[in-house]
Amino acid sequence: MKHLSVVIPAYNEERRIKGTLEAVYNYFLRQDYSWEGVIVSDGSTDRTVEVVTEFISNKPELSIIANTRNHGKGYVVRQGMLQAQGDFRIFIDADNAISIEHIEKFWPYLLNEDYDVVIGSIEVSGSEIHEEAQWYRRLLGKYSKYLIRVVAGLWEIRDTQRAFKLFTAKSAEDIFSRAKINRWIFDVEVLALAKKLGYKIKELPVVWNNPGDSKVNLKSYFGSLRDLFKIKFYFFTDVYGIKKTK
């Protein structure tokens, strides 16, 4: 079993994915533990798959899952996390908004303090934000966090939406095998499942560089609102099968 699996979801990322893969690959070449990278294309219609395939051609640590249809970020992250073989598994964004070096301050909480899930956050002390997002995204992002924390029962987690989330293999398999949400609000579902299943979660500050060309548009926010209440319903009706296991 690999020590660490890095899952990178990608949709139409032909311009940015090679730079991210170079940064990740070069970082792990300097580490003294084994690792693998799993890139999951979400039905990309540009040259994402070709760019990735060319980059990984002589790098056995890297592999690609090339979906022919678009399912949503939640779907492909779930797909990658369940196919991964690592003792620990992290998913990051294809735009390298949070550099892989942050993982160094995550390890102590998993290895020494018995946390099961460690997540990056821009809402805790020590974080930095370099953002060029549209005004409506900043506004909606600010106030939607409170709604998410209330509805999903995650008030103690200040930022659910950063992609930089690290799991033990056990927690990853337990959580992602139950997850249902395919699109943007899947992070909330994952954390809500972690909490319900009794996994210990730690939130750590990160430096976040958002270039402002995110694929999350206004329509996505309304879809996420619907999915948020769907998660609430799934817990109420035990679609996740948590009550049956207790």
Q: Give the pLDDT mean for 147-161.
A: 92
Question: Can you give the pLDDT at residue 67?
Answer: 98
Mean residue pLDDT of the chain comes to 91
pLDDT at 1 over 90: no
pLDDT at 215 over 60: no
Q: Is 230 or 132 the better-scoring residue by pLDDT? A: 230
Which range marks the domain in which residue 12 is found? Answer: 4-245
Evaluate if pTM is beyond 0.75: yes
Q: Give the pLDDT mean for 115-137.
A: 84
CATH code for the domain in which residue 241 is found: 3.90.550.10
User: What confidence category does residue 211 fall into, taking pLDDT thresholds of 50, 70 and 90?
Assistant: confident
User: What confidence category does residue 143 fall into, taking pLDDT thresholds of 50, 70 and 90?
Assistant: low
Question: Can you give the pLDDT at residue 144?
Answer: 74
**CB-based contacts of 243: which residues, under 8 Å, 6+ apart?**
none
Question: Can you give the pLDDT at residue 225?
Answer: 85
User: What confidence category does residue 135 fall into, taking pLDDT thresholds of 50, 70 and 90?
Assistant: very low
| Strand residues in the chain grouped as ranges (E) | 4-10, 35-42, 62-67, 88-91, 117-121, 128-131, 165-168, 201-205, 207-210
User: What confidence category does residue 216 fall into, taking pLDDT thresholds of 50, 70 and 90?
Assistant: low
User: What confidence category does residue 142 fall into, taking pLDDT thresholds of 50, 70 and 90?
Assistant: low
**Residues 159-187: b if buried by 16+ CB within 10 A, e if exposed:** bbbbbbbbbbbebbebbbebbbbbbbbbb
Question: Can you give the pLDDT at residue 212?
Answer: 60
Question: Can you give the pLDDT at residue 101?
Answer: 97
User: How far is Cα 169 from Cα 5, in angstroms, rounded to an integer?
Assistant: 9
- Two structure tokens written together for 133: 């997002």
pLDDT in tens, 52-105: 999 999 999 999 999 999 999 999 999 999 999 999 999 999 999 999 999 999
pLDDT in tens, 164-182: 999 999 999 999 999 999 9
Give me the number of domains the chain comprises. Answer: 1
